[in-house]
Every structure is written in C-alpha cells, then in structure tokens.
A and B are shown apart, each in its own frame.
Chain A
Amino acid sequence: MNKTAIFLKGIIKENPVLVLVLGACPTLAVTTNVLAALYMGIAVLAVLVCSNLCISALKNLIGDNLKFVANILIITGFVSLVQMLMGAFLPKASDMLGIYFTLIAVNGVLLCEAGDFARNNKVVDSVLSALGTGIGFTCALFVIALVREIFGNGTFAGIEIPFLADYKISLLNATPGGFLVLGLVMALLSAINKKPVEEICFENQKEGEVNA
C-alpha cells in the first residue's frame, strides 16, 4: 500500500465506526452534542497518533508475548496524559466527555490500530494510519452527532434552532435513536462504497491474511 492509501483507508474504506464497527460505546455516548463529538474525536486522534508512534518505534524491542501489556501501558499512559491536559486547559470538554474519555483506553479503535497496524508497519506508516483512522473516527462521530443533535434536540452545538426546537424527535437523543442513526449512516457509507459492510470487512480480512 502506498502512503496515500494508508492515510485514506481509515477515513472511508476502513472507517473504524462505520465499517469496522469499533468504538460504539463512545459513539453512542457522546453523539448527542456536536461539540462533545468533536472533542472526543480530536482527543482520540491525539491518543491514536502518539500511541501508534511509540508502539511502532518500540516494536522490535518488545517480543510478541509481551506486546499486549506494552500496548495497554502506552495507550493508558497517553489517555491519562490527555485527560490531565484536558482537565487543566479544556475543563468544559473534560466535563462533557466524563467517564467516556477514560474508557477509550480499552477502545477497540485504539487496540486494533496498535495491535494490527503499528506493530507490523514502519513508524511513518503507523502515524499516517493513525491520522486517517482518527479523522475517520471524528468525521463519523460528527455526522452522527449532527443528525442526533439537530433533530433530536433542536440545537446545534447547544445553540437553539428556531423551528426545529419546537419539533424535537426525542427518540434520537436516547440510545435506541443512537443505534438508528448509526445504522442509517452505515447504510449511507456502504452505498457510497457500493458494497455492503460485511463484504468490505471480508475483503479487509482477506487483505490482512495476504499481508501477513
């Protein structure tokens, strides 16, 4: 794969939320508000890039039998670091994300990137992949949050929208509504990809086997 393909794969073809269906917990939790979704996306992007960089750089020093421990150590380290910085300099974002930010330490998006990609690729490729995946994650969250907040709450980033505020679809604010929107956006993306989600997953899997 060339560098552009590595960067782009996480955005559409292997979008972590919409194709790989990873990180559903933060996706459903923070997408009732556009701002919260953006904060979460950017925070995850930062942790992804830093942890991929470290894991890829250290991959030859740590054997396979200890890789999982090392990955978790690096990811939780960065999550704690970002959480402290956010608490100090972006208290509003920290309040909005609450426990869900801490939970990304065991988030599938990060573990998948770290374990599958960073350990098997060069540092530059790993950082590119992390950037792509992070941007893909942020975009997916933003789109879902846009639909849920505007139609579910009649607001955009907390600012009331005159007409829609009177016709809220409160289901969208609740968890079932979150699944509904997630499903609809997934359907939209597979229409763009012109393939059902399972097929893309299957292809990705085959590609992975070939690479291995």
Chain B
Amino acid sequence: MKNNVKSVVTLTALCVVVTGVLAVTNYFTAPKIEENKKAAANAAFVEVMPEGTGFEEVELPANAPATVTNLYRETSGQGYVAKLVTTSQYSSGDMGITVGIGTDGVIKGVAITSYNETKDFGDYPYSYVGADSALNDIDVFAGATYSSMAFKNAILDTFNMLIANGDVSEGQKSAETLMAELLPTVFPGSCNGSGLPQLVETEAAGFTKAYATGNDTGFVALSESDAGTVVSVMNAFGAVKCYDLEGNEVAGPVDEMKAAFKVLADENKDANLSNALKAYGDEAAEMTALENVPAFGSVTGGFSVTTEENTYYIFNIKTFGYMNELMEMAVVLDSEGKVVNYRTVTDLILHGEYFTEHGLDDKEAYLSQFKGVDEGSYSDETAIVTGATFTSDAVNDSIHSAFDAFKAVKEAE
C-alpha cells in the first residue's frame, strides 16, 4: 500500500513536471515553428519575389486569361505572383510557370514549375527577370521556339490582365520592340514560323540600328526623322519600304538603304545563281536577275529565263525550320504562275533523328505534288508532313513567298 501511494505521487509529480517542461518549451519554440512554417509556404513565392514577406491568394479577375490559374497578392503591397499554365504546340504536356510582378510593372522573378519538352528550354525564361510589360531587353530575336512563344504569350497575358485592372504599371515599349512587332506584317520574310524576327545586327552609317535578316532575305534599319522613328526594310531584290512605328507607310531613307546594303545584297545574289540554275535544270541557261520586286516574303533572290516557248521565274527561298535552322529551296514558276519545279537545297526534314517516325518515305513524290499548282489551286494541306510542323510550315511559307514574288513581278510588268 505504501509503495502504491509512493508510485502514484511520483507519477503525478512526473506528469506535472513533464507538462511544465513541455509548456515552457512550447512557449519559446511555437513562434519560431510558426515562422518556419510560413517561410516554407512562402518559399515558392519568395523565389519569384525575393523581397516579399507574405502572400495571400486573391480571386481571379473577370478578365483573367485562361493561362492564369492562380493569383496571389504580396500582403505589404509589393506586387503579385501569378501561376500560369500554358500548352505549347510542340510540348507533350503543360508548361507550369510562376511569375512575380512588382507594382512598378517589373518582373521580379520567374520559375518554371513543370516542363515536358524533350529539348532543353535553356535560360530563356530567366532573361525576363527585370523586364517590364514592354519586354524591351528580351532577346526576341533568339531562342524562338514554340515553347518560348508560349512562354512569352503567357507572360504578356498576365501583364495585360494586371495592367487592365490597374494593379501594376505599364512599361514603355522601345523602338526596337515596336519594330519587332511590326516586322511580321511588313517583312514576314525576316521572321520565323512563330512570327519572331530573326535579325543580325550590322554596321551601317546613317542609321540608329541596322540589321541583316538571318536568312539573307534583306535588311532592316531604324532611323530618326523629323516625323519620328522610321523602320526601313529592304528585300533581296533591292526594293525598299519605310514605315513609322505604328506601321503606316512613310517617306524614308530609301536611297540610304540601297547605298548602305547594295554590296551585301549583291553578294547574296551571286550565291543564289547556282541554286537557281540547278532548279531550272539547265545549267547553261541565261538568267536575268530580277530587281526591285516589292515582295517581302522569304525570297533571297530571283531570276527570269526566257525561252522560245515560255518565260520562267526562279525564286530562291530561305525559311526558318526546326530549331530556327535554315531550310533552303528554289521554286520555278512559268509565265502563268504555275509551279514547274520545286527543289530543296537543304534536307527537307531537319534533325531526322528527332523525327524518326516522321521521315518522308519518298521525297521525290512529296515534292512532285507541287508541280502544276498555281496560287489559286494551291492548298496548304498539300505540304503537311504529319508530326513535322516546322517542315510543313516552312514549305508552305516558301510556296507562298514564291507566289507573292511572282505576283509582284507581274504587276510591275
């Protein structure tokens, strides 16, 4: 009995001591544990907004695009974090993006949370950090794939939503950015299949900035006039057009463009000749180089051959294929605008090892489909190679570029 009493008293005392010790420990550790938990929950947000202290989810605004799945507000009013999901045409799954945008309209951080493309996306997304809605410092001339297009569009969607609601301020677009937006319309031959200009900066006196297109289709330059900034484009035929930043055609430095780039343009012309002769099929034929044709597609040069029966027009074309690699072809048209021959200089399916299951069984049969078609009878379906979107797009671009150039030649005549 005495032992039992001793046990019970000890046990009771033990309970009191244990409870006391735990209570004291809890008193000191609880705030720290709470802080750690909050930090862990915020970690994903802090990655894209390093100075953020707390984040709360807010309801998606009515104008939210489909790409934005969740929106969080930084509780001290520093900005917003948006979770985005986008599907690029070429990915096997969705791409998850988290982006932090400050109230000053500057991107504080970007994180890719899921990405299933087999090809490496590289550091491209991280080049957006520090940019505002104008995306001025982003190298839009490089890294242009379907994934990067999808990424860029998702970021712009987010900006548009936040700017429209007055949550963040809008960035000021630079002349280069506005020019890049203008080129797909005024000089499609300078852009890849995703509509991103592919330019190489060159030196040319008298211009603020001067570029050669990455596919030898011509030149682009920015210059200042009394009326403002002028975008001038010159194609491979030496034809020049000038625009203001809104895309209206204006008078501009036409002669300066021709003078600055004539030598380079002539060099390209010489290289084109042998390809044109091969496509025509008679290497002894006498070719006349076409000049000042106002067509701004992917044509890198053109020639005409007049025989007793007919006049033929041969257009050399360079388009951007898979991974922005160049695809070179030549199209021969007769005086009616019908395709007489379609010849490829480079491989038709680039990166064959990537497209193992999409190889063409019979390249000649594929190319011969184009024979005899003209602009009226041609359908984009003809060029489709299942699974090889870049090739199909490039082939369609080449055919349309040839038809456009032919039309421009005929109108000039």
Contacts and interface: CB of A to CB of B under 8 A. Distances in A.
Q: How large is the interface on A (under 10, 10 to 19, 20 to 34, 35 or more residues)?
A: 20 to 34
A159 interface: no
B25 A73 contact: no
Given A58-B10, A77-B21, A80-B22, A95 B32 contact: no
A90 to B, nearest CB: 10
A73 B18 contact: yes
A63 B4 contact: yes
Contact of B25 (A70, A81, A95): A81
Contacts of B4: 63, 65
Interface string B22-58: 1001101110110011011000000000000000000
A62 B7 contact: yes
A89 interface: yes
A69 B11 CA distance: 9
Contacts of B40: 91, 95
Nearest to B36: A91
B25 A85 contact: yes
Given A65-B4, A84-B25, A95-B40, A70 B32 contact: no
B6 interface: yes
B22 A81 contact: yes
Contacts of A210: none
DSSP class of A's interface residues: helix, strand, loop or mixed?
helix
A87 B36 contact: yes
Contacts of A74: 14, 18
Contacts of B29: 84-85, 87-88
18 contacts: A61-B6, A63-B7, A66-B7, A69-B11, A70-B10, A70-B11, A73-B18, A74-B14, A77-B18, A80-B22, A81-B22, A84-B25, A84-B30, A85-B29, A87-B33, A88-B28, A91-B33, A91-B39
Interface of B: 3-4, 6-8, 10-11, 14-15, 18, 21-22, 25-26, 28-30, 32-33, 36-37, 39-40
Interface of A: 58, 61-63, 65-66, 69-70, 73-74, 77, 80-81, 84-85, 87-89, 91, 95
Report the 3 A-B pairs with minimum CB-CB distance, sorted nearest first.
A88-B29, A88-B32, A77-B18
